[in-house]
Amino acid sequence: MTSLERILCRLKGKQVDKIPNLNIVMMFAAKQIDIPYGQYVTDYEKLVQGNLYCAEKFGIDAMSAISDPMREAAAFGANVIIPEDDVPYCSKNLLEDIEDISAIHIADPFSNSRTLDRIRAVERYHELVGNEYAIIGWVEGVLAEAADLRGVSELMLDLATGEQDATGLFDLIFKQQCAFAKTQIDAGAHIIGIGNAVASLIGPRLYQKYALPYDKMLIEYIHSLHSYAKLHICGNITPLLPYLRETGTDILDVDHMVDFGKTIQMFSDLPVSICGNMDPVSVFLQGDQKKVSNAVIKCISSCNSTTMIAAGCEIPRHTPLENVKTMDNLLWL
């Protein structure tokens, strides 16, 4: 059974030979091929090389185009700094006012080097392993992208006070994220990951008002293009779970501070694969093989026929290799 077959079968609750391993590797992947992270996020060939290496060595079942949340921000016109060996970031907020979106540059995803690089990564995956591995493209969720452009603290204050109208900004971002998702699906992505980590900071009332409608619409759009959606919200999303049931996502990533078994039960009546949820730091980075084994076995004990396994977020750069191998060894059925 190929990794692609394994994931597609698991999504439908069909029999598989191994629980799919959906660990996210970024800095870890760059370290394995001995390159600085600045090169990893700007050269799609290196990103592809790092993911292929990790898939072969550590049993990861998907090729992901994720690297950092600043690709779309750069396309919108933000001044993005790319350190030699660290994560890209904005030097200043592009938007001084959430209602004044005149500073935003609307660009075709092919016209900006950072979004184009991600498209090229998906194309390269498709050429090399498109029939063997699930290819995961990536976009920022509308709320997360608004935070990238406005600033997290500023956006939180805007939403909490409700004194300004965010609709214009959110609608604009939504249209661009649909366009970016489409280019990656056209390039060969089987799944589009949606990173919306900032949603874990706003609570259920504000999530339902500001983020849920756009998460639902984006996932519906991805489905209309005959692709799957994977919603990734880092942090404690326990209060959001009743609303996340409404998103229609095919895969829901669950971080380590969320009760994995209860989440699986809560979504068991829906066609959703819950994915998670070991602590990337205390288990993988700081733990030993015994600690990893215990954590993975605990997750497996909660699994149903659609569950997938991964650390709750990215595998840290300096994680011992034996810990990552240990996880995959335990997933074979």
Question: What is the SS3 assignment for 55?
Answer: helix
Give the mean model confidence (pLDDT) for residues 307-324. 98
> Which pTM was predicted?
0.97
Would the pLDDT of 107 be above 90? no
Would the pLDDT of 163 be above 90? no
Q: What pLDDT does residue 164 have?
A: 87
Cβ partners under 8 Å of residue 232, min gap 6 = 193, 194, 195, 196, 197, 253
What amino acid occupies position 209? K
Give the mean model confidence (pLDDT) for residues 110-138. 97
How far from 194 is each of 43, 154, 178, 256, 300, CA to CA, in Å? 21, 22, 11, 18, 25
What count of other Cβ atoms lies within 10 Å of the Cβ of residue 208? 15
Would the pLDDT of 314 be above 90? yes
Would the pLDDT of 292 be above 90? yes
Would the pLDDT of 158 be above 90? yes
CA–CA separation, 134 vs 34, rounded Å?
A: 25
Question: 30-72, pLDDT tens digit by residue?
Answer: 999 999 999 999 999 999 999 999 999 999 999 999 999 999 9
What angle do the packed helices 167-187 and 212-224 form, to 10 degrees? 30
Give the mean model confidence (pLDDT) for residues 78-106. 95
Would the pLDDT of 106 be above 90? no
Q: Whole-number mean pLDDT of the chain?
A: 97
Q: What pLDDT does residue 300 have?
A: 97
CA–CA separation, 238 vs 333, rounded Å?
A: 29
CA–CA separation, 37 vs 40, rounded Å?
A: 5
Q: What pLDDT does residue 216 have?
A: 98
Would the pLDDT of 307 be above 90? yes
Question: 183-237, pLDDT tens digit by residue?
Answer: 999 999 999 999 999 999 999 999 999 999 999 999 999 999 999 999 999 999 9
